[in-house]
Amino acid sequence: MKKLLTVILIALGLNLSAQNYIEHKIEEGETIESIAKKYLVTPFDIYALNPDAKTKFQPNTVLIIPNSKIKNKPIDEESKELIGYKTHKVKRKETLYGLSKKYGVSEEEIKKANRFLYSENLKKGDKIKIPRYKTFVSKVSLKNTVKKYKVQPKEGKWRVAYKFGITVAELEALNPNMKPILQPGDELNVPNIEDQDEKVIESEYDYYEVLPKEGFYRLKIKTGLTQEELEAINPELKESGLKAGMVLKIPASADATSGLLDVETTNLESKIKNFKVKKLALMLPYRLHRIDVDSVEEAKDMIKKDKLLPIVLDFHVGVRMALDSAKQLGISTNLKVFDTEYQPSTISKILSDNDFSDYDAVIGPMEEKSFDRVADGLRSDRVPVIAALNNPKEIYANVFKTIPEDKLLQKAMIDFVKADSLKTKVVVIADQSHKATSEMLKKEFPTATQIYSQKDKKTGKDAHFIYPVQLENVFRPGKTIVFLETNNGAFASSVISMLNAHTVDKTEIVLVTLDKNKAFEGKDVDNNNLSNLQFHYPSAHRNFDEHKSNGFVKAYKKEFGVSPSKYVARGFDITLDILLRLATEDNLYEASNEVVETEYVENKFRYNKSLYGGYVNEAVYIVKYDNLRIVEAN
């Protein structure tokens, strides 16, 4: 095939050197990836000219390599020289990993200086040599090299990668110490291409990295853009097709939630194939240093007064029960528990004293800064970090966000109403602070009637009430859907009472909201009225059905004598889901595509890779009040 390609090029009068092609003879130990990196091209570029290399890749085979656009200029290269050693006496609990971080050298460099560590473990009292180096900079000229680039405002990794025609992974390889969130002025290593070869970054577009095995169908679900629309924006797609790692330009207005999937629940128990022992870490703020464990009464008193500790302990119980359930399926787990003490400084010590590189997943922490620190610290090793009880603002590539985002909950509720073929009318009642929400709903339901709360005539502020006359002639026989959007308990109570009074004769009113907050739980809100109005709302979880057989609930009641709290159920559901996914694939990333939806006691999970970060749970419940019970709506 290669000879035929060469003949064709010559026949067309396009010799290799004239067309910027070079030849490379494969050497022992080389891979497509290493060759591509050497010439600063992609493996896809090599395969395009050498299709036989996919099946016949062996030493002495000659490959045609497209000549890179990289300029050949001398660059500064750092190197280091050994200048001596520092003696260190090992303390209790110190590890090679921690020492390497402390002194800024690798574990391998410490082992080379202390040969006995190749066969023995580090022990308290050992006196070891820590190598010291002098760093110096020299000018080096290479065939293909890099240049320094200052990050511009509003530029992230995806935009920089697109600008220089490389993947995000290649950009990260060029910059191993790159921050997860780029800041203007940050200096990066980038391919040293000519200025005219740099792609233009346009503010009205965002930039997205294509995932492995991702086709135009998945991108349509994720962005709402068809193949034709993507090709119009990215003309190179017509020639190259979709390739994993390539960065695409998409409109900033693309709706990442335009296509929430409706998939069948996956039974992972029938797909178990990976019986390797799973290694999990659980990081929660037990804050045990504040409790006198020698005093039972004092410990009980602390648990009663501490609002956080009961949540943590309940979640922990759920985790332990999930480990037992997984064990019955043949899945063994090595769980290590860490007390984060709700302090970022404690997290730093945990990360420095422990090597998490071979962990399958880390659950927690709860506190935002601590969670970010763990996610960032384990990002380079691609260790999944599970946001189980918090909603992180930054979703790094290794983060699994288990709580669906508010916009997903809202969209699920709107789609549910749209799917109701029996609705005859939609009414939107909102207070003054929710006018934007009301206008959004008006766009979704153009024929909807809008009603707003009254303002105080003197102050102009929201008085949080409506006049009964505002509801006159609004409802007629048949079904009417009423959206009530407010955070004010008195307003919610008043409107709910008025609506309940209108449910007469053949008039059916179904109350819904996009945000079920404390306003709907106030002491003046009558649950009988909510049941009468069939109150619907979107939720990240549901209540387990007491009337149905449930082994988890039975086991918990048998041991503790009461029904499990939502935190016990959440600890159980999240942990069992992680273990089952790990048992069906080699890692959590491969087991978490958007067509896999799982459901357990109170929670369900369907992860989708977000456009600009990690994995987000998109599985949402619509629940309703039914005879004073909260059940899943069909």
pLDDT digits (tens, 9 = 90+) for 156-215: 888 888 888 887 877 887 787 787 778 889 999 888 777 777 888 887 888 888 877 678
Lowest mean pLDDT segment, chosen from 104-118, 250-264, 409-423: 250-264
Partners of residue 399 on adjacent β-strands:
385
Residue 607's pLDDT band, with cuts at 50, 70 and 90, is very high
Residue 608 near residue 520, CB atoms below 8 Å: no
Q: Which comes out higher in pLDDT, residue 293 or 106? A: 106
pLDDT tens digits, one per residue of 389-437: 998 888 888 999 999 999 999 999 999 999 886 767 999 999 999 999 9
What kind and span of H or E run contains 298?
A: helix 296-305
What is the residue type of 248?
L
| pLDDT mean over 102-114 | 91
pLDDT band at 388 (very low <50, low <70, confident <90, very high): very high
CA–CA separation, 266 vs 250, rounded Å?
A: 31
Beta bridge partners of 539: 621
Structure tokens at 268: 């992972």
CATH numeric code, 2-66: 3.10.350.10
- CB under 8 Å to 142, separation ≥6 — which residues? 72, 75
Question: Any idea which of 79-83, 149-153, 462-466, 524-528 has the lowest mean pLDDT?
Answer: 79-83
For residue 1, what pLDDT is reported?
45
Is pLDDT above 80 for 290?
no
**DSSP annotation of 462:** B
Distance CA 385, CA 397 (A): 10
pLDDT of residue 278: 97
Residue 44 in contact with residue 50, Cβ under 8 Å? Answer: no
Give every CB contact of residue 535 below 8 A, 6+ residues apart in sequence: 511, 512, 513, 520, 624, 625
**Is the pLDDT higher at 204 or at 585?**
585
Q: Which residue ranges make up each domain of the chain?
A: 2-66, 75-140, 207-254, 268-403+549-619, 407-539
Higher pLDDT, 625 or 593: 625
Q: Would you tell me which CATH number, out of the four given (3.40.50.11930, 3.30.360.10, 3.30.70.1230, 3.10.350.10), belongs to the domain 75-140?
A: 3.10.350.10
Residue 143, pLDDT score: 45
Question: Does the pLDDT of residue 464 top 90, yes or no?
Answer: yes
Look at residue 363 in the predicted model and tell me its pLDDT.
Answer: 97
pLDDT at 289 over 90: no
Pick the CATH number of 207-254 from 3.90.460, 3.30.1490, 3.10.350, 1.10.10: 3.10.350
Q: Are strands 536-539 and 621-626 parallel, antiparallel or unpaired?
A: antiparallel
Distance CA 623, CA 514 (A): 12
pTM (predicted TM-score): 0.67
365: cis peptide before it, omega within 30°? yes
List, edge to edge, every strand of the sheet that includes 621-626: 449-452, 425-430, 478-485, 507-512, 536-539, 621-626, 629-632
Architecture of domain 268-403+549-619: 3-Layer(aba) Sandwich (3.40)
Intrachain domains 75-140 and 268-403+549-619 with the same fold? no
Overall residue count recorded for the chain in this entry: 634
More confident residue, 46 or 271: 271
What does the block give as tokens for 311?
Answer: 């949540």
Cα distances (angstroms) measured from residue 43 to each of 54, 63, 256, 425, 599? 10, 12, 29, 57, 39
Which of 15-24, 75-84, 132-141, 201-210 has the largest mean confidence? 201-210
E strands along 254-390, which residues? 278-284, 333-339, 361-363, 385-387
Alpha helices, DSSP H, located in 106-253? 107-113, 157-163, 168-174, 216-223, 227-233, 237-240
Q: Which CATH architecture has domain 407-539?
A: 3-Layer(aba) Sandwich (3.40)
